[in-house]
Amino acid sequence: MKIFLTGGTGFIGSHVLKQLLASDIEVIAHRRKESSSPNIQIRDSISWLTKPISEIDESDFQGVDVLLHLASHSVQYPFDSLQNNIHFNVVEPLGMFEKAYQAGVNKYVVAGSCFEYGLSGERYEYIPAKAPLEPTNDYATSKAMSFLAFRQFALNKKVSLSYQRIFHAFGEGQPDNRLWPSIKNAALEGKDLELTQGEQIRDFVLVEEVAEKLIRASAAIKVLDRVILVENIGSGSPQSISEFAKYWWEFWGASGTLKTGALPYRDNEVMRFVPELK
């Protein structure tokens, strides 16, 4: 199997790339800039395709079986404008999909976001993959729009699409301003850490597990024709943010204090995000 991977220098993409290179799967890894590199150490030789997504052409997909699209724009708060999110998360990738299709690619796996569910997440104890999409920020709105666009693309072209909505991935290589690295860094440095009240219920899943499931989805779509699958990726073990923080705080033997309640919740904070898993 030959996979064309976008987002291979990102947090999740770096782990996917590492696992792909350790297997017998051939991979072409796309990156936008020569200076971009994976978030984690990868010793294997990487076959990079370096150019903006808008400049990818049909010849770049020669012999490709599956397009695994993980690249996303403005994932972290504060988010870019809605217009830019739509351009980089919908318009440009859709153009790339068209080039792949013209080259003969008919299998597509896309990483979505749990935040596409938005406010509808609070109406479910376990969010089904068919739940309404009610995003509450510009990034999540663009991802919901990308799902609708890629789904329509698959219907129009009669190709297979596996859309995988990822819940709260954490682990090595995650940006320092995210929750898990913030806890780790403060704990190991003996500092205090300010948090919200932490009552939000989340499904935290190790990034290595997310990578493995995305690769499995790619292998599964390889043998299916003209199907559209929408699935959630999570751990199946919901917990509050305060419980998650306390566990890792104690795991690293922190000497500082977790200052729960020191920070306010964000605007439009959704208090429960827990997926229904198959």
Where do the domains of the chain lie?
Answer: 2-170+204-233, 179-200+237-273
Is 260 within 8 Å of 150 (Cβ atoms)? no
Mind listing the pLDDT tens digit for each residue in 224-234? 999 999 999 99
d(CA 5, CA 70): 7
What is the rounded average pLDDT for all residues in the chain?
96
Confidence of residue 278 (pLDDT cuts 50, 70, 90): confident
Mind listing the pLDDT tens digit for each residue in 17-31? 999 999 989 999 999
d(CA 250, CA 198): 16
d(CA 83, CA 254): 42
Residue spans of beta strands (DSSP E) within 117-255: 160-166, 168-170, 193-194, 201-202, 204-206, 228-233, 239-240
Whether residue 44 has pLDDT greater than 90: no
d(CA 67, CA 29): 10
Residue 170 Rama label (left phi>0; alpha psi -120 to 50; beta): beta
d(CA 120, CA 224): 30
The single-letter DSSP state of residue 253 is: T
Confidence of residue 268 (pLDDT cuts 50, 70, 90): confident
Q: Region 61-73: what's the mean pLDDT?
A: 97
Q: And the tokens for 273?
A: 């995000």
Whether residue 100 has pLDDT greater than 90: yes
Residue 95 Rama label (left phi>0; alpha psi -120 to 50; beta): alpha
Q: What is the pLDDT of residue 170?
A: 98
Please state which architecture CATH assigns to domain 2-170+204-233.
Answer: 3-Layer(aba) Sandwich (3.40)
